[in-house]
Amino acid sequence: MGGTDIRTAKPAGADEELAGLEAGLDSLESVPVSRTPVGQVLRQKVAPPLLGAAFVLVAWQLVHAGGLVSEERLPGPRAVGDSFLTLWRQGTLFEIVWTSLERGLLGFLAALAIGTPLGLVVARVPFVRAALGPVLSGLQSLPSVAWVPAAIMWFGLTDAAMYTVILLGAVPSIAVGLVSGIDQVPPLYLRAGRTIGATGLRGARYIVLPAALPGYTAGLKQGWAFSWRSLMATELIASSPDLGVGLGRYLANSREAIDLPGVFFGILLILAVGVLIDLLVFSPLERRVLRSRGLR
Partner 1 sequence: MHPTTITVKDAASGAAGLAPRTPAVRVVGAHKSFVRPEGVQTVLQDISIDVAPGEFICLLGASGCGKSTLLNLVAGLDEPTSGRIEVTGGRPALMFQEHALFPWLTAGKNIELVLRLRGVSRPERRARAEELLGLVRLQDAYGKRVHELSGGMRQRVALARALAQDSEVLLMDEPFAALDAITRDVLHEELTRIWQETGVSVLFVTHNVREAVRLAQRVVLLSCRPGRIAREWTIGMPQPRRIEDPTVAELSAEITDQLRKEIRRHGRH
**Chain contacts with partner 1 (rule: CB under 8 A):** 1-8, 10, 14-15, 18-19, 21-23, 25-26, 28-31, 33, 188-189, 191-192, 194-198, 202, 206-207, 210-211, 213, 289, 292-294
CA–CA separation, 211 and 7 (whole Å): 47
The least CB distance from residue 4 to partner 1, in Å, is 5
CA–CA separation, 160 and 144 (whole Å): 15
Of 84, 104, 28, 51, nearest to 264 (Cα)? 84
Q: Smaller CB distance to partner 1: residue 214 or 266?
A: 214
Q: Smaller CB distance to partner 1: residue 39 or 294?
A: 294
Of 225, 218, 219, 229, nearest to 175 (Cα)? 219
The least CB distance from residue 183 to partner 1, in Å, is 17
The least CB distance from residue 200 to partner 1, in Å, is 12
CA–CA separation, 216 and 178 (whole Å): 4
The least CB distance from residue 175 to partner 1, in Å, is 21
The least CB distance from residue 170 to partner 1, in Å, is 25
Q: Smaller CB distance to partner 1: residue 2 or 241?
A: 2
Length of the chain: 296
Secondary element (H or E) of residue 282: none
Q: Smaller CB distance to partner 1: residue 101 or 198?
A: 198
Inter-residue contact 176 to 202 (CB < 8 Å) = no
Using only C-alpha atoms, the chain has a radius of gyration, in whole angstroms, of 28
Q: Smaller CB distance to partner 1: residue 26 or 256?
A: 26
